[in-house]
């Protein structure tokens, strides 16, 4: 202090000396020494009075606090402070050996000039070190966390890195990441229709792995199965071909194309590892070309007297094409028609004489390779599985995909397109796309590093900051794996890599800006670090909380994957905030030391350095000046800004409403021309893979035995009857209409019946596939009696016992012209009474040709004789909905399951194990006759209002098969499994095989029926929900009256799921948005205690949402689907962040103490201006920096391969731009105009009313 009179104070150097505010006194200083020291200080300074306070311990250090003020008449020497001091200062006298935190000045290198000893006053030799400190107000002790953190910043950062790696690396090693590449899983909702459909499809996929197959015996061979599906679609000039893909040009092109594929050496090597019984599935596959060009096998040594082959082999090695109707019949006989043919090619069309036209075909190839024995260890089996999967994926990448992408020969590419699918195909292509997009994530990181270096002016901070933020992603995976219990993540979770970069940059820039601003307030590093923490934690906690809550609000969604991703991102955001606070803040100190002391001095700092700062405050920066100028501009133009903003919002709402369109269904992952998109479109024309060729699909019996003539039945092993056509009557393309004249020929049975009372007679009808009971008993019965001579129905019961039977199809071939006519064959047997036992006929066999051709009898040993023609009248059709308006292939499919139980309880986050999604009903038992009657009644009693156009009822076909086999229906419990097994293996109905049943051993555990209704499968929500309600009512009523062992049915349809899910999605989205706005208001109110500021933040968020909807509907012209709805929910947190930063800083008290008043301005306007200016200067830079990094990261998303990332990136860029504009423009204008002068008084005035005490802000 200038003007000191005494040359010394206990030995201090004479001359002007700064007023000591911090120093060291000997540890032995006792209380009696205080008056003496006080007297000498007063005598020396002569400018005031030193009043001692009592000694105390502060933060672990012994110190004395005193006040220096003007002389007063009485000073309490006992240590009481003098009242009325004009100014207050603090002096801390700390022990010499006390530890001092690291500071800005190296005491060893540059000792303080104003230093001396107080030997006489203290009675000891240790010196008093006097250190100048003009602004220190806190003073941290040696053990204070801030001093320790500043002292050992580098050590703390390294410890954090080690702990973080110890949590991430072992966690991922124990719980490796499994990528879910099926986007359909992202659409699983908790609506009942979706739960039932998902469980039903899981049951279809797992029915071959039922209890009988899951519990494999020790030593059984385990197989690995990989499928390849190739689909062909007619295009361009191919539409001009007669028959479409059935044309010989297309069939030959497909045949050559597939032979080139299976002839590849790598394909052959893998296929040869299959067993002999299944090798044909990969050597030949299941292709329609095999049935269009079968090998005709003739008897050995047979001469040219017969043109009827011995067998047909569907191998594609024939020389000539057979007719399409022949190929369709062969495919249907072998049960592979649904594998190769589209669903709109109905059974009626495939059996007609006229060859249909088809635009789509499908071929399937299966590699079924023995893996290992069930007695081997699980580890060994998993290793074998991994190796085989690697081989398959390598084959697909190196051989299959290049060949399929090349397509058919050049001259045929203009008539057809080739698409492909199969095991792991979607996973391979999605994974490749994700890995390719990760390169863009790397570019976004480079951009973030560059901008962070520009913003922080430090390479260390720019490199480490984003990496710290990104480390939250794997750490979140480990935590979520433990909490949720699954290691499978959706590919959408990779979006977290882009999102967390933007969010982390926001928090990083907040810490960085407050660290730089701390120079204005503190000079010592511990104090600066403490001030940075106090400001940054509060500011970032507000936005972090709202962002995390915005993601966690998705827990209210009905989409399970959306809930999981919301939880993942909520945890990830919170962890990123914590990691940045714990690791990035110490890094600021390390960077400061590196800047000013170099690497060597940084790692060898003494503990005294924390108390010194060498970097003086340099005044306002260019950034703060720019933001201050922007505040002035807004203050003058605030009304124009508000009017323009709300006018644009109103115009955006109007334009969005007129352009708004909502779409349903799963969004596409790839561009429209990508194979995944096109194959998904083409797959809809075919029966689902799980039903057409499930895991238990085996090599079909390609060889079909052929018998000569129409009289042979399936009992002799023939599946095809073949004859040389003798005559063609009329147009061969004309099929039987169900009424008309049939030409009949009779062969008498030999007279070996003796004196029997009754004999067997039979009538085989060619061209008739089914007759009604009335037609059989009257018209067929009358024909038998009328042409039977002395045979008659004497007993009415004999007429009632007539039996019908479906016979194999008959090929009528005109060898000379090459015309082949396929005719269904139907047989009726009866017993007639002989009126004359010795002379009456012993029975006969009639063959009646009701179609356009008859078989030649030239080679028959016994020539049949013509008899009177059979006249058939049109049968009365069953009452059914016959006015279908929806074309085939576009009708909605409804499936009703019997015998399955589906639990409807769902977990909040964890996905249900597919094996636990369904189970068999314990009480379901079709062996009971009443249960069989109930299932028959279900299909028979469908009302017209259900608009069923076609149905596939397994129990109806079993009934028909039982009757034709001589059994009564319903079947007795002991006969049911036997007859059902016969129908499964040899039946001729459309539901033959195991496609519609769950077979465990010999027991039918469950069954389903498939029905098509006259409603578009793409119908709207209202239509879908109305139809679903009708089916709910019918199935509920049937369950109520059904027999107990058959009840428990439920119905599923993709139309129900889409309609109900869309409604649930709209409701959950609305509720989630409402929750988000409420949370935003609550969070803002919690931190600011201001209702008005909270409303302003919600209003700003609503403006951002309006502009985002405007971008989607008007600018991008995208319909609102799942991606757009999810994006709005995801990015709502980003819409909140920037406005929350500005509003929170507006509410702080620092604005009134650190911003100067404007002369001549009204008090309220001046307070609003000071608060707004301070908010923009404090947070404007961080807001702009965060927007630059978030927008930059989103910009790279636009160039991703996945359409999902492209759209989300564009929308993220749009919402970031809108958010930063609203936060720096309309919101400050709103605060300048209507902002609260006393933000913290809202709650106080609400509670206390007019009696509320004055607010502290205005008092200050």
Lowest model confidence (mean pLDDT) among 138-142, 216-220, 719-723: 216-220
Length of the chain: 1260
User: Could you tell me the pLDDT band of residue 436, with boundaries at 50, 70 and 90?
Assistant: confident
Q: Rounded to an integer, what distance in angstroms lies between the CA atom of residue 191 and that of residue 171?
A: 34
User: Could you tell me the pLDDT band of residue 962, with boundaries at 50, 70 and 90?
Assistant: confident
pLDDT score of 987: 74
Residues 1155 and 1102 sit within 8 Å (Cβ to Cβ): no
Q: Rounded to an integer, what distance in angstroms lies between the CA atom of residue 1144 and that of residue 1223?
A: 12
pLDDT score of 896: 94
- The DSSP code sequence of 688-740 is -HHHHS-TT------EEEEEESTT--GGGT-SEEEEEEEEE-S-TTPPP-S-E
pLDDT score of 645: 92
Q: What is the mean pLDDT of the chain?
A: 75
* Better-predicted residue by pLDDT, 219 or 987: 987
- For 692-742, the pLDDT digits (tens) are 887 777 788 888 888 887 766 556 667 788 888 876 655 554 555 556 788
* Better-predicted residue by pLDDT, 56 or 409: 409
pLDDT score of 695: 72
pLDDT score of 552: 83
pLDDT score of 736: 56
Inform me whether the pLDDT recorded for 89 exceeds 70: no
Inform me whether the pLDDT recorded for 355 exceeds 90: no
The residue with tokens 């195991």 is 994
User: Could you tell me the pLDDT band of residue 491, with boundaries at 50, 70 and 90?
Assistant: low
pLDDT score of 305: 61
Q: Would strands 295-297 and 311-313 be described as parallel, antiparallel, or unpaired?
A: antiparallel
**Averaged over 95-113, what is the pLDDT?**
35
Token pair for residue 892?
A: 């909605």
Lowest model confidence (mean pLDDT) among 177-186, 593-602, 878-887, 1127-1136: 878-887
**Averaged over 175-203, what is the pLDDT?**
76
pLDDT score of 88: 33
pLDDT score of 1051: 93
Query: What percentage of the chain has pLDDT greater than the value 90?
Result: 13
Helix H or strand E encompassing 762: strand 758-766
Inform me whether the pLDDT recorded for 621 exceeds 70: no
* Better-predicted residue by pLDDT, 377 or 848: 848
pLDDT score of 660: 76
Inform me whether the pLDDT recorded for 988 exceeds 60: yes
- For 1074-1097, the pLDDT digits (tens) are 877 787 788 778 777 788 888 898
Asked whether the CA dihedral 130, 133, 138, 144 is positive or negative, the reply is negative
Q: Rounded to an integer, what distance in angstroms lies between the CA atom of residue 1079 and that of residue 1083?
A: 6
pLDDT score of 1227: 92
Q: Rounded to an integer, what distance in angstroms lies between the CA atom of residue 1052 and that of residue 471?
A: 44
pLDDT score of 182: 63
Residue 128: strand, helix, or coil: strand
- For 554-584, the pLDDT digits (tens) are 787 777 777 888 888 889 999 999 999 999 9
**Averaged over 530-535, what is the pLDDT?**
88
**Averaged over 939-958, what is the pLDDT?**
88
Inform me whether the pLDDT recorded for 99 exceeds 60: no
Nearest Cα to 486, choosing from 186, 913, 918? 913
Q: Would strands 311-313 and 360-373 be described as parallel, antiparallel, or unpaired?
A: unpaired
The 3-state DSSP composition of the chain as helix, strand, coil percent (nearest 5) reads 50, 15, 35
**Averaged over 335-359, what is the pLDDT?**
67
Inform me whether the pLDDT recorded for 138 exceeds 60: no
Chain mean position to CA 851 = 55
pLDDT score of 33: 45
The residue with tokens 């602004």 is 135
- For 852-870, the pLDDT digits (tens) are 778 887 656 556 777 777 7
Inform me whether the pLDDT recorded for 96 exceeds 50: no
Write the DSSP symbol of residue 609: G
Residues 452 and 508 sit within 8 Å (Cβ to Cβ): yes
pTM of the predicted protein model: 0.67
Q: Rounded to an integer, what distance in angstroms lies between the CA atom of residue 535 and that of residue 511?
A: 8
Token pair for residue 162?
A: 């080690």
- For 889-934, the pLDDT digits (tens) are 678 889 999 999 988 776 667 655 555 678 899 889 999 999 999 9
The residue with tokens 């480990």 is 478
Contacts of residue 1037, defined as CB under 8 A and 6 or more positions apart, other chains included, come to none
Q: Tell me the angle at which helices 425-456 and 459-470 cross, rounded to the nearest 10 degrees.
A: 150
User: Could you tell me the pLDDT band of residue 798, with boundaries at 50, 70 and 90?
Assistant: low
Lowest model confidence (mean pLDDT) among 86-95, 747-756, 905-914: 86-95
Inform me whether the pLDDT recorded for 31 exceeds 50: no
**Averaged over 439-452, what is the pLDDT?**
82
pLDDT score of 80: 40
- For 992-1049, the pLDDT digits (tens) are 778 889 988 888 999 999 998 988 888 888 888 899 999 999 999 999 998 888 899 9
- Alpha helices by DSSP H, listed for 352-471, are 378-395, 401-406, 425-456, 459-470
Inform me whether the pLDDT recorded for 1203 exceeds 60: yes
Write the DSSP symbol of residue 834: E
């Amino acid at each position: 202090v200038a003007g000191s009179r005494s040359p010394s104070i206990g030995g201090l150097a004479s001359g002007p000396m700064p007023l000591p505010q911090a120093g060291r006194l000997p540890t032995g200083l006792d209380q009696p020494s205080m008056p003496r020291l006080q007297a000498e200080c007063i005598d020396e300074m002569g400018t005031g009075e030193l009043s001692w306070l009592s000694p105390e311990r502060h933060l672990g250090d012994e110190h004395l606090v005193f006040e220096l003020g003007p002389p007063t008449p009485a000073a309490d020497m006992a240590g009481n402070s003098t009242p009325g001091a004009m100014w207050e200062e603090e002096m801390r006298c700390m022990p010499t050996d006390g530890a001092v935190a690291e500071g800005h000045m190296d005491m060893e290198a540059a000792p303080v000039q104003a230093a001396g000893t107080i030997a006489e006053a203290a009675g000891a030799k240790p010196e008093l070190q006097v250190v100048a400190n003009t602004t220190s107000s806190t003073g941290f002790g040696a053990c204070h966390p801030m001093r320790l953190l500043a002292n050992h910043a580098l050590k703390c950062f390294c410890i954090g890195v080690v702990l973080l790696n110890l949590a991430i690396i072992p966690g991922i090693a124990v719980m490796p990441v499994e990528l879910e590449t099926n986007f359909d899983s992202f659409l699983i909702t908790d609506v009942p229709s979706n739960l039932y459909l998902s469980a039903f499809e899981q049951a279809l996929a797992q029915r071959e792995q039922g209890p009988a197959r899951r519990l494999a015996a020790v030593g059984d061979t385990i197989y690995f199965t990989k499928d390849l599906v190739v689909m062909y679609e007619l295009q361009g000039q191919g539409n001009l071909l007669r028959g479409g893909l059935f044309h010989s040009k297309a069939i030959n092109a497909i045949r050559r194309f597939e032979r080139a594929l299976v002839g590849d050496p790598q394909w052959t090597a893998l296929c040869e590892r299959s067993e002999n019984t299944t090798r044909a599935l990969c050597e030949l596959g299941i292709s329609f070309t095999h049935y269009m060009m079968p090998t005709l096998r003739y008897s050995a040594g047979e001469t040219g007297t017969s043109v009827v082959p011995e067998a047909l082999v569907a191998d594609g090695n024939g020389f000539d094409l057979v007719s399409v109707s022949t190929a369709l019949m062969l495919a249907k006989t072998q049960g592979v028609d649904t594998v190769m043919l589209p669903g709109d090619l109905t059974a009626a069309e495939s059996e007609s004489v006229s060859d249909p036209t088809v635009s789509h075909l499908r071929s399937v190839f299966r590699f079924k390779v023995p893996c290992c024995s069930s007695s081997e260890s699980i580890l060994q089996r998993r290793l074998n599985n991994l190796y085989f999967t690697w081989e398959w994926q390598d084959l697909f990448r190196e051989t299959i995909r290049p060949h399929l992408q090349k397509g058919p020969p050049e001259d045929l590419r203009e008539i057809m397109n080739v698409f492909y699918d199969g095991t792991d195909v979607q996973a391979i292509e999605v994974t490749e796309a994700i890995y390719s997009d990760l390169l863009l994530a790397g570019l976004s990181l480079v951009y973030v590093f560059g901008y962070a270096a520009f913003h922080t002016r430090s390479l260390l901070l720019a490199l480490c900051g984003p990496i710290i933020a990104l480390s939250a992603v794997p750490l979140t995976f480990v935590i979520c794996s433990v909490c949720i219990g699954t290691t499978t993540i959706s590919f959408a979770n990779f979006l977290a890599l882009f999102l967390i970069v933007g969010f982390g940059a926001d928090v990083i820039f907040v810490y960085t800006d407050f660290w730089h601003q701390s120079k204005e307030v503190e000079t010592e590093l511990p104090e600066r670090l403490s001030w940075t923490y106090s400001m940054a934690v509060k500011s970032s906690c507000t936005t972090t909380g709202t962002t995390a809550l915005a993601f966690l609000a998705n827990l209210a969604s009905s989409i399970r994957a959306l809930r999981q991703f919301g939880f993942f991102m909520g945890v990830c955001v919170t962890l990123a905030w914590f990691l940045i606070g714990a690791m990035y803040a110490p890094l600021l100190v390390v960077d400061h030391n590196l800047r000013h002391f170099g690497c060597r001095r940084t790692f060898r700092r003494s503990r005294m350095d924390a108390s010194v700062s060498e970097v003086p405050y340099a005044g306002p920066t260019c950034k703060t000046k720019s933001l201050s100028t922007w505040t002035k501009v807004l203050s003058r133009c605030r009304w124009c800004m508000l009017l323009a903003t709300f006018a644009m919002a109103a115009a955006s709402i109007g334009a969005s409403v007129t352009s708004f369109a909502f779409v349903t269904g799963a969004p596409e992952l790839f561009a429209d021309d990508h194979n995944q998109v096109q194959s998904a479109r083409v797959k809809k024309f075919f029966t689902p893979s799980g039903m057409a060729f499930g895991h238990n699909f085996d090599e079909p019996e390609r060889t079909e035995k052929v018998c000569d003539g129409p009289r042979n039945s399936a009992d002799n092993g023939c599946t095809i009857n073949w004859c040389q056509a003798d005559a063609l009557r009329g147009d061969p393309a004309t099929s039987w209409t169900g009424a008309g004249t049939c030409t009949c020929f009779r062969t008498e049975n030999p007279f070996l019946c003796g004196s029997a009372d009754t004999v067997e007679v039979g009538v085989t009808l060619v061209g008739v596939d089914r007759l009604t009971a009335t037609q059989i008993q009257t018209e067929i019965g009358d024909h038998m009696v009328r042409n039977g001579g002395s045979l008659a129905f004497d007993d009415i019961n004999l007429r009632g016992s007539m039996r019908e039977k479906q016979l194999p199809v008959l090929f009528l071939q005109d060898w000379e012209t090459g015309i082949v006519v396929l005719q269904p064959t139907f047989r009726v047997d009866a017993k007639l009474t002989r009126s004359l036992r010795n002379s009456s006929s012993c029975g006969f066999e009639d063959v009646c040709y009701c179609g356009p051709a008859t078989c030649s009898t030239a080679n028959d040993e016994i020539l049949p004789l013509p008899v009177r023609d059979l006249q058939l009248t049109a049968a009365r059709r069953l009452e059914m909905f016959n006015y279908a308006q929806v074309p085939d292939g576009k009708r909605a499919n409804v499936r009703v399951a019997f015998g399955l139980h589906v639990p409807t309880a769902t977990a909040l986050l964890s996905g249900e194990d597919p094996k636990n999604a369904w189970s068999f009903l314990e009480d379901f038992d079709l062996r009971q006759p009443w249960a069989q009657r109930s299932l028959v009644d279900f299909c028979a009693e469908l009302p017209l209002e259900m608009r069923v156009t076609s149905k596939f009822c397994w129990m109806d076909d079993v009934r028909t098969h039982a009757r034709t086999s001589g059994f009564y229906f319903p079947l007795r419990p002991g006969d049911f499994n036997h007859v059902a097994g016969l129908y499964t293996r040899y039946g001729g109905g459309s539901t033959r095989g195991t496609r519609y049943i769950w077979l465990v051993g010999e027991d039918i555990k469950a069954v389903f029926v498939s029905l098509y209704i006259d409603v578009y499968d793409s119908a709207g929500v209202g239509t879908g929900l109305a139809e679903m309600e009708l089916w709910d009512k019918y199935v509920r009523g049937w369950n109520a009256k059904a027999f107990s062992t058959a009840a428990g049915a439920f119905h599923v349809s993709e139309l129900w799921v889409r309609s109900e899910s869309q409604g649930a999605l709209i409701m959950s989205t609305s509720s989630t948005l409402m929750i988000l706005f409420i949370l935003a208001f609550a969070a803002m109110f919690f931190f600011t205690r201001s209702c008005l500021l909270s409303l302003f933040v919600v209003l700003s968020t609503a403006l951002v949402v309006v502009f985002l909807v405007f971008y989607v509907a008007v600018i991008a012209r995208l319909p609102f689907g799942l991606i757009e709805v999810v994006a709005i929910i995801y990015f709502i947190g980003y819409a909140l962040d920037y406005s929350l930063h500005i509003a929170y800083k507006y509410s702080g008290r620092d604005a009134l103490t650190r911003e100067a008043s404007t002369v001549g301005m009204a008090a309220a306007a001046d307070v609003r201006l000071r608060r707004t200016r301070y908010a923009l200067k404090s947070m404007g830079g961080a807001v702009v920096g965060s927007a630059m990094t978030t927008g930059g990261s989103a910009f790279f998303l636009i160039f991703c391969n996945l359409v999902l990332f492209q759209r989300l990136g564009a929308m993220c860029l749009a919402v970031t731009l809108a958010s930063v504009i609203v936060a720096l423009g309309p919101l400050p204008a709103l605060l300048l105009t209507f902002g609260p002068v006393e933000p913290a008084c809202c709650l106080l005035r609400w509670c206390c009313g007019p009696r509320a005490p004055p607010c502290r802000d205005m008092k200050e």
